[in-house]
Amino acid sequence: MPPKSKSREAITAMALGRPFSPLPSGRKNEFFAPKIVTVIFGAFFLSSLAPNLPSTAANPTESTTTLPEVPSPSTAEILRHHHHPEASSSEAPTAETKIDVRLPKSIVPLKYVIRLQPLINGNFSIMGSVEITMKVLEPTQNVSLHMADIISKNETIKLKMSDDPSASPLKITEHKYDADREFYIAMLDQELVKDRKYVLSMNFEGYLNDQLKGFYRSQYTDKSGQKKMIATTQFQPTDARRAFPCFDEPALKAEFEIFIARQTNMSALSNMPRINTSLIPDQPGWVWDHFNSSVPMSTYLVAFVVSDFSHINSTANKNTLFRVWARQEAIDQAEYAKAIGPDVTTYFEDYFSIPFPLPKQDMIALPDFSAGAMENWGLITYRETALLYDPAVSSASNKQRVAAVVAHELAHQWFGDLVTPSWWTDLWLNEGFASYLENLGVDAVEPTWKMMEQFLVDDLHSVFALDCLESSHPISIPVGHPDEISAIFDKISYNKGASIIRMMNHFLSEPTLRQGLTNYLNHFKYKSAEQDDLWRFLTEQAHQDKNLPQDLTVKDIMDTWTLQMGYPLITVTVKGDGSAMLSQERFLCVKNENSTDTHDYRWWVPISFTSEDAMNFNDTRPSVWMNKTEATKTISSLPTSPDKWVIVNLQQTGYYKVNYDINNWQQIIRQLKADHTKIDVSNRAQILDDALDLARCGVLSYDVAMDVLSYLDKETEYVPWKTALNNLGYVKNMLSRTAAYGAFKRYLISLLEPLYKKVGFADNLNDPHLDQLIRVQAVSWMCSRKYKDCVSQAVSLFKRWMEQPDNKSIVSPNLKSTVYCAAIAEGGEAEWRFLWSQYLVSNVASEKATFMYALGCSKEVWILSKYLEDAFTAGGDIRKQDVSRVFLSIADNEHGQDFAWNYLRNNWKAINKYFGSGFSTPGRLVEYATSKFNSELMLQEMVRLRDANLDDLKSGKRTVDQSIERTKNNIAWMDAHYEDISKWLNNKGYDTL
């Protein structure tokens, strides 16, 4: 998930989560897989592709028979047996040579029959065949489909009319391959007839790659020390084509009938239930699993997994078989997911008034996975940290993450799977709705967690920090090349999408939104749609419910939020006559003379408000609208007087920030100090976030913003505290290498000390969930500021654990991250090696993640150097998916940040080669390494790195550009505010050593 200005634990949790999905970033097609099975085995495979497979028992006797490792044939051998057309250039297109990567619209697929035999325990080759039934929409003399990293056996490619299988195949005059577009093209000697159906069949060979995309391999070590292999898939957005030739665009839905060959000591899963299992002739120990034909769905949702995993069943949902799969040694950690999954599904069935359309739902935890999770229909794949939870060692935040990711992926089963965006331009419809609905799903099973309050700090405030950059982008943005598609899997699609949906829920009302969604889903089920289709159905329902004027549409309103980047700042000036003047303008992180922003944006803004004289924070429907033509608007007859406060944007349901005249700010501060509980908890978080952001960009003085913070000694709620600390984290980062840092550290300790003493260092796992989370914040921040009581207790606990390493209960799960980091920072090589040894033997992914981050807290640069080098070593003890977690921990460490940046610069080419095209990680590493940069020298280094490596950046370029803009803003902040902050700290007495 996208990084936020959060605590060490929270940053770690989000560094590798769903909105940060590392995705393909530039593709160089290979015409043959790096390793390929021998021709002899290929002959066995071809003989096993008979369409009528004999059925045996559903659960054949297990066997330990495995294939011997076979040598890979040479390129010459491959080319002797397989004809390949010459390739065009495989370099990713530049802006100047931009190409159209969309398939021709003359043919659509109706059904696929796919047979795949992955040699998991052999040389990782895949023997495959595909039959695609297609319908011709317009006469054409060629068939174009997607294919990448696959050997097409051109002599086996046949094209026949589906209604006359006895007829001779149509003649294919030429086989072409377009590497730039990843197209296979069969050129024909005659036109295909409009409205006729044809079947294209092909045998091919592929490869189980190690790039976590397409059909790939993963490895783990069982408790006996034996290495085990699995084969699994990740196709979103454009990698189904790496597993089988296909029409790899989301709108081109079809049915899928899948056969997977496996060894009898393993099991296979796919989207649909297994129909039968049959022996493979002449291949002892191998069987075919035949899965039922799917409902119509997009290629990116197809999935299959071959493993030796165990599973547990749940029957909580009467209509659907639920199973959770994991390594045998970790299956006991699947209980929580098994418990909540069916209940969340039942909730969404009720929310949408549409039953889950499939007979089963498998959820599987994978040792290696590039994304946080993937919503494959009926077979959801997860990172282990996103699905598995062990209450003995996993924290409350780990549990919350499992619940949120499970709910997110289950929401996709309707929004994204049942109805799919026609093209990736509307990715936000998928991810925005799932990100919003996940909170409702978790709230249904864990109501005390107050997820809609947490939404503010985890989603809304987080994306505000990105969307105020000039280098942001509209939520709905045209994309073409896979690099462009990968680049929009970011906070804008996820968090902003969720935030504007939440806003829409409040201005339309929840009943109207829900009914409109149900109508939309029923109309387009098993099809694809665009955002304007959704707007039409919501408008119809809103007009019917009289929740929107007849002359106003949802499209009128929402186009201003989806087709424009950024968001408005609403400035409120309260007048003495009971009226207020409102103005709107785009909010930018930093306004300076070098700004290149020329947009004159206006929005349809829902304005809700309350006042001290008539307090009502629950009526979040807009009292008035500012429309997109209004730069200013006057509200008359406010229920207030000049010496009373007004608060705009109730529960911060609108996607905008609010500034007030100085008198109104002073009245709000007065109320917070007198009795902060009179103001809704969500609005307290809003006031804190708005005040500190406004001060950061120079709209409000820091004197006022810091005065807002002064009430926190009485605050006990998690969300306002988390909001305040996130914002103060930015100031801390800016001052960390300045003379003012000591004074600021003393200020932070004075601010947090009352909370720390109230919640205490000792954890209580029986406390309410949010009480546990606020204790984590207090303890983490105080230990990070070297508060003596906190550090001494942390070091003492760690020492006791070193003396009793088998006693896992010495350190509370919630405090592990803080205790381990503090002990590693205060200790030396012995402490580091002890924690590393614990990392190696841990069987819980969330605990291993905690270890990885804490190991980066050392003050010894040589230790950090070795740790980072080990992380980037292929085949080591740190998985490729986890490398960025290690890098983030070192970059976040004041003793390691320079080293992390220099390592990145000096090893850029090697790092890109290590990750390959399956990750966008290198761009993220730049973001992590430079988050505290605030000098011209640092900026110049960043620009040089970007300009010298444009070809390597691909989908990560926008992330790097945003990091450069943030650094420019940081420099501007230092110029504008450093002296003021230093003066304020001195005047308050914090500058005394």
Which residues are part of a known binding site for Zn(2+)? 408, 412, 431
Strands 568-574 and 274-279: unpaired
Helices within 804-860 (DSSP H only) = 816-826, 829-841, 845-855
Which residue, 27, 147, 209, is CA-closest to 917?
27
Strands 158-161 and 197-207: antiparallel
Query: Which DSSP letter does residue 238 get?
Result: T
Task: Summarize the annotated binding site as residue ranges.
Answer: 408, 412, 431
Question: How far is residue 214 from each of residues 245, 252, 358, 369, 731, measured CA to CA in Å?
Answer: 12, 18, 24, 11, 42
Query: Which DSSP letter does residue 356 get?
Result: -
Kindly report the number of other CB atoms within 10 A of residue 40's CB atom: 9
Burial class (CB in 10 A: 0-12, 13-18, 19+), 790: buried
Rounded Cα gap, residues 521 and 529, in angstroms: 10
Query: Which DSSP letter does residue 935 get?
Result: S
Q: Are 823 and 14 in contact (CB under 8 A)?
A: no
Choice among 131, 409, 847, 927 that is catalytic? 409
3-state secondary structure of 118: strand
Rounded Cα gap, residues 374 and 940, in angstroms: 38
Rounded Cα gap, residues 708 and 665, in angstroms: 9
Rounded Cα gap, residues 741 and 735, in angstroms: 5
Among this protein's residues, is 349 annotated catalytic? Answer: no
Which residue, 67, 73, 84, is CA-closest to 36?
73
Rounded Cα gap, residues 697 and 604, in angstroms: 24
Buried b (16+ CB within 10 A) or exposed e, 734-751: bbeeeebeebbbbbbbeb
- Which pair of structure tokens corresponds to residue 271? 């989207």
Question: How far is residue 404 from each of residues 11, 17, 181, 443, 451, measured CA to CA in Å?
Answer: 16, 11, 36, 10, 9
3-state secondary structure of 714: helix
What is the secondary structure of 26-37 as a DSSP string? -----SS-SS--
Rounded Cα gap, residues 219 and 303, in angstroms: 18
Catalytic residue numbers?
409
